């Protein structure tokens, strides 16, 4: 459903120079699937999420959604960043309603935010402010807010990285239950090999730095087992080992790329 074609990105540096961040990216993220992106720090994962969210324009290439240029496709995308992007001066309820207020939604639609808050156990805290919530609650609020806009594509950049191990597992299962209830294409960045193998239908491995690229895609097959059972088994550990080894391999530099960091005079 989301296709990346010939994508590259360079950030402008002082004195009209450019720092190449992403290069030679061709990938396809299937509709209604859970796709995870993993790769070393600095390989361009956040940049890629921003491009797919339409917040950053690629230097070359394009993002297609259902075969159309992303901005013309009219498919709603929602993004959750690592710090959740909650507004500290707004209450839980006002944060949850934010996308609907921005879209000037009518009262019945605004009720959706309240329903989501209730469903995710946050309604009793509706009048609180984000700093009065636990990490897990903030995380749930960020997901509620993203879902209030009824997106078809949910983009997440390391959403669980600041949570302790058990809260993180709860948050993962919470997200899976949301995804089971509604058709949602999830594309999520993680640094955790175990999280990737637990959640993903497909894991996209990024390698390299300046530019980073998607090296390969590993499809996780659970043979009909529930995720919880799968996590206990030998195959889960084998997938983790495969992913670890793939990440360790030093890839060939992409064709046409010379040097470690490309800084071109504009």
Ligand X SMILES: Nc1ncnc2c1ncn2[C@@H]1O[C@H](COP(=O)(O)OP(=O)(O)OP(=O)(O)O)[C@@H](O)[C@H]1O
**Residue 248 beta carbon to ligand X: minimum distance, rounded to whole angstroms:** 16
How many CA within 13 A on the CB side of residue 15? Answer: 3
Closest distance to ligand X from the beta carbon of 54 (Å) = 16
Phi-psi region of 31 (alpha: psi -120 to 50; beta: other; left: phi over 0): beta
What is the smallest separation between the CB atom of 230 and Mg ion, expressed in angstroms?
27
CB of 191 to ligand X, least distance (A): 6
Residues that bind ligand X (rule: CB under 6 A) add up to a total of 13
Nearer to ligand X among residue 97 and residue 157 (C-beta): 157
Parallel, antiparallel or unpaired: strands 202-208 and 212-219: antiparallel
Rg (CA), the chain: 19
In DSSP notation, 201-214 reads SEEEEEEESSSEEE
Q: Which of residues 11-70 bind ligand X (CB under 6 A)?
A: 11, 19, 21, 39, 41-47
Pick out residues in 150-189 that bind ligand X (CB under 6 A).
none
- What pairs with residue 2 in β-bridges? 29, 65
| Residue 4 sits in the site that holds ligand X (CB under 6 A) | no
The item of Mg ion, ligand X, none sharing an interface with residue 44, based on CB under 5 to 8 Å by kind, is: ligand X
Give the binding-site size for Mg ion (rule: CB under 5 A).
Answer: 2
Shortest Å distance, C-beta 70 to ligand X:
18
Q: How far apart are CA 242 and CA 249, in angstroms?
A: 11
Q: Which residues contact 166 (CB under 8 A, 6 or more apart)?
A: none
Tell me the closest approach of the beta carbon of residue 191 to Mg ion, in angstroms. 9
Residue 210 interacts with ligand X (CB under 6 A): yes or no: yes
Residue nearest to Mg ion (CB): 46
42 binds, among ligand X, Mg ion, none (CB under 5 to 8 A by kind): ligand X
- CB proximity list for 131: less than 8 A, separation 6 or greater: 88
With CB under 5 to 8 Å by kind, the binding choice for 19 among Mg ion, ligand X, none is ligand X
CA gap 30, 214 in Å, rounded: 16
Which does residue 196 touch among Mg ion, ligand X, none (CB within 5 to 8 A, set by kind)? none
Q: Pick the closest to residue 185 from 137, 146, 151 (CA basis).
A: 151
Beta strands (DSSP E) in 82-201 are 153-157, 185-190
Nearest to ligand X of 43, 147 (CB atom): 43
CB of 12 to ligand X, least distance (A): 7
Helices and strands (H, E) in the chain, number of each type? 9, 11
Judged by CB under 5 A, the chain residues 32 through 71 that form the site for Mg ion are 45-46
**Other beta carbons less than 10 A from residue 245's beta carbon:** 9
CB 110 within 8 A of CB 97: yes
Q: Is 162 in the site for Mg ion (CB under 5 A)?
A: no
Residues that bind ligand X (CB under 6 A): 11, 19, 21, 39, 41-47, 209-210
Residues that bind Mg ion (CB under 5 A): 45-46
């Amino acid at each position: 459903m989301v296709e990346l074609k010939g994508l590259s990105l360079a950030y402008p540096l002082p004195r009209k120079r450019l720092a190449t961040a992403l290069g030679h990216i061709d990938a396809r993220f299937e509709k209604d699937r859970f796709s995870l992106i993993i790769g070393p720090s600095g390989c361009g994962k956040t940049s890629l999420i921003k491009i797919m969210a339409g917040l950053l324009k690629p230097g070359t290439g394009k993002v297609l959604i259902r075969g159309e240029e992303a901005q013309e496709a009219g498919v709603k995308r929602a993004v959750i960043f690592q710090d959740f992007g909650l507004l500290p001066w707004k209450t839980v309820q006002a944060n949850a309603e934010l996308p609907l207020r921005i879209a000037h939604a009518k009262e019945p639609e605004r009720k959706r935010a309240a329903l989501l808050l209730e469903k995710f156990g946050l309604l009793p805290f509706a009048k609180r402010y984000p700093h009065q919530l636990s990490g897990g609650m903030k995380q749930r609020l960020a997901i509620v807010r993203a879902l209030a806009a009824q997106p078809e594509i949910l983009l997440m950049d390391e959403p669980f990285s600041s949570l302790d191990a058990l809260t993180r597992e709860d948050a993962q299962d919470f997200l899976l239950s949301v995804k089971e209830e509604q058709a949602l294409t999830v594309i999520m960045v993680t640094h955790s090999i175990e999280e990737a193998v637990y959640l993903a239908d497909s894991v996209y491995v990024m390698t390299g730095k300046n530019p980073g690229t998607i090296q390969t895609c590993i499809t996780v097959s659970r043979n009909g087992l529930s995720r919880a059972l799968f996590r206990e088994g030998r195959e889960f550990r084998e997938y983790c080992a495969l992913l670890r080894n793939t990440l360790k391999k030093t890839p060939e530099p992409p064709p046409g790329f010379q040097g470690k960091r490309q800084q071109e005079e504009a």
